[in-house]
């Protein structure tokens, strides 16, 4: 019988011969097993993607490519609204209004430089208040109508005057989304028949009995207009006016 041992050092198989030569010769005389014919190799089959690869969609565009094709969400339409600055513009107003599409000033500006500062942020629509002199602020109109990205507005200084014009049919709410007035130094927001009537309050609180200064930011939403009042820091010394 064969005795196969592995020579670890040589890495080969050592065979010990049997004592009987006849047995060895008989074994040598026996025909060897015929070689088996190997079956023809099957044609190469394309590897099927794993479930994980199929779910991830290896052939799909990358996340960066999908993001590049995705339309960018439009920036919200916002309008900054203020009134009754009375010659003083709090620097915070420029920060609050950063990124707005338009600015509406409802009168009592009392310093043309204020409008110039506001125009560094966005286009400005302004009207004259009862304290605005043409030689100081220029020839501002008493009432202005306009539209900003689908927001139709009208602005005047005194709320009662605007309400009278609406009551007499000189001003139709059917063509408006926003009515802005100032003068009263009290912030308020009222929706009448889907129209926002807004008073942003005073941006300077010039009178001692005034509440704190405020401005407003109007934003266009799918459901309509929203308004946010932003309080400002009180001035150390109240201005006359």
pLDDT range class, residue 28, cuts 50, 70, 90? low
pLDDT at 205: 87
Check: CATH 3.60.21.10 for 78-231? yes
pLDDT range class, residue 75, cuts 50, 70, 90? confident
* Domain range list for the chain: 78-231
Q: Where are the beta strands (DSSP E) in the chain?
A: 4-7, 12-15, 78-82, 102-105, 124-126, 143-148, 151-156, 178-180, 188-192, 195-199, 214-221, 224-231
Q: What token pair was written down for 52?
A: 């994980």
Max CA separation in the chain (angstroms) = 137
Q: What percent of the chain has pLDDT over 70?
A: 67
**Between the CA of residue 155 and those of 37, 99, 117, 160, what are the distances in Å?**
99, 21, 20, 12
* Residue 56 predicted with pLDDT over 70: no
pLDDT at 150: 95
Q: What percent of the chain has pLDDT over 90?
A: 62
d(CA 126, CA 66): 44
Mean pLDDT of 47-76: 60
């Amino acid at each position: 019988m064969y005795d196969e041992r592995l020579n670890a050092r040589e890495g080969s198989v050592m065979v010990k011969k049997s004592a009987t030569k006849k047995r060895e010769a008989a074994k040598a005389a026996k025909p060897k097993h015929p070689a088996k014919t190997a079956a023809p190799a099957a044609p190469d089959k394309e590897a099927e993607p794993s479930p994980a690869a199929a779910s991830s969609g290896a052939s799909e565009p990358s996340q960066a490519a999908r993001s590049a094709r995705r339309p960018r969400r439009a920036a919200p339409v916002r309008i900054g609204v203020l009134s009754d600055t009375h010659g003083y513009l709090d620097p915070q107003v420029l920060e609050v209004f950063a990124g707005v599409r338009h600015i509406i000033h409802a009168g009592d500006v009392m310093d043309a430089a204020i409008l110039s500062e506001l125009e560094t942020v966005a286009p400005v629509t302004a009207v004259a208040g009862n304290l605005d002199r043409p030689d100081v602020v220029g020839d501002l109109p008493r009432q202005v109508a306009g539209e900003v990205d689908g927001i139709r507005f009208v602005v005047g200084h005194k709320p009662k005057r605007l309400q009278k014009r609406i009551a007499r049919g000189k001003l139709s709410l059917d063509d408006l989304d926003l009515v802005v007035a100032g003068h009263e130094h009290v912030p308020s927001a009222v929706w009448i028949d889907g129209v926002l009537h807004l008073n942003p309050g005073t941006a300077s609180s010039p009178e001692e009995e005034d509440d704190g200064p405020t401005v407003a930011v109007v934003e266009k939403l799918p459901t309509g207009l929203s308004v946010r009042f932003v309080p400002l820091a009180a001035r150390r010394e109240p201005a006359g006016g």
